[in-house]
Chain A
Amino acid sequence: MSRNAKINALLLLVVAALAVLPLVFGMGDHKKEPFAGADAEAETAITEIEPDYEPWFSPLYEPPSGEIESALFALQAALGAGVLAYYFGLRRGRRQGELRVLAQREGGQDPTAEAPGGTGGSGAGPDRLTERA
């Protein structure tokens, strides 16, 4: 594992720890409803401050159950993660392609190869690339 990958893994590990530790230490135990959403708690606080307040508009569409709601949240995360993964995959592929072209050009300067600037895929290039990858 390269130093780079280690740092990235460490970053993920700390994020995971920050999410898990409140659960492990039972930091929601003092609450009637542990680990409820802060948004919902704010609604409760509003009705505490102004008991007569009635929301004057209701959502056009409301997920009929918690399952549907979590499905839609998962969809949202999946869409985002999919696009991010596509981006990084594409970049990586492009960079490998550029490296391959470079390797082929270097190969092209080999006396046994075709003239420089030509397509020059004369054995040496692709082999060197696989070593790199």
Chain B
Amino acid sequence: MHIAEGFLPPAHAVAWGVASAPFVVHGVRSLTREVREHPESTLLIGASGAFTFVLSALKLPSVTGSCSHPTGTGLGAILFRPPIMAVLGTITLLFQALLLAHGGLTTLGANVFSMAIVGPWAGYGVYRLLRRFDVPLMVAVFFAAFVADLSTYCVTSVQLALAFPDPSSGFLGALGKFGSIFAVTQIPLAVSEGLLTVLVMRLLVQSSKGELTRLGVFLAGKRSRSGTNGTDATNQTNETNEANETTGTVTR
């Protein structure tokens, strides 16, 4: 999904930068607030960023005969909400733009928009929606990561099609072209990302149940509306029940 350095016309590059900036600024604020109010979160935030680091370095072969990489943004979006993920994703993209010549500074805004903003929000939205209808936690986690991954690549396709409409078939023709390069390649990788995110979430449920409870990860049904840090006394029993169900198989 990395649009290479200089491959977006200046007007587009600036427009995507302007669109992304407020999300990242808001994200930095959310991040500093979270770290100040809950210093114990720092480690898990670091782990979420690390997950994105690993997954976006893994270029995997796909059924289309080309290679692409997952994004790893679904996990952090579920745990800490999308604004914080906007920051972590931007850091990853900056690392790749500066050291690996992968992506670029002029296309940073566009790449941040697809991977660090739309991906996390789409994944988080799916997660919340599924949990509203009491879909089991791990199923919701799978689809959240799947959608976060795939939507990122769809946005990249749209961005390129807007910048380079096909001379004969226009925007839609170009969208089909870029979509077949990015989105189709990405489908099996999005499945992989979903499975890996489920794996990490399973390990987290085993190792950090208290932390996940505080973050509201186990909230389901109507209670899931109350946001992330909802740990009202009434919620608590239900949360712990589900937490226990999810870890029912953990050897004690």
Contacts and interface: CB of A to CB of B under 8 A. Distances in A.
Interface residues on B, range: 35 or more
Contact of A56 (B10, B49, B191, B199): B10
A36 B67 CA distance: 6
Interface stretch (B22-30, B115-123, B174-182, B231-239): B174-182
B63 A27 contact: yes
B39 interface: no
Contact of A23 (B44, B61, B105): B61
A63 interface: yes
A69 B105 contact: no
Given A57-B6, A57-B105, A58-B6, A35 B207 contact: no
Contacts of A34: 65
Interface stretch (A86-94, A111-119, A122-130): A86-94
Nearest to B46: A83
A74 B186 CA distance: 21
A97 interface: no
B206 interface: yes
B81 interface: no
Given A28-B66, A58-B5, A84 B51 contact: yes
A131 interface: no
Contact of A55 (B5, B52, B195): B5
A81 B50 CA distance: 7
Given A84-B47, A84-B50, A56 B6 contact: yes
B174 A37 contact: no
A contact patch SS: helix
Contacts of B186: 38
A49 B64 CA distance: 21
B251 A4 contact: yes
A38 B160 CA distance: 13
B37 to A, nearest CB: 20
A61 B101 contact: yes
A81 B64 CA distance: 28
Which of A7, A58, A77, A84 lies at the interface centre, i.e. has the most chain B CB atoms within 10 A of its CB? A84
B100 A2 contact: no
A37 to B, nearest CB: 5
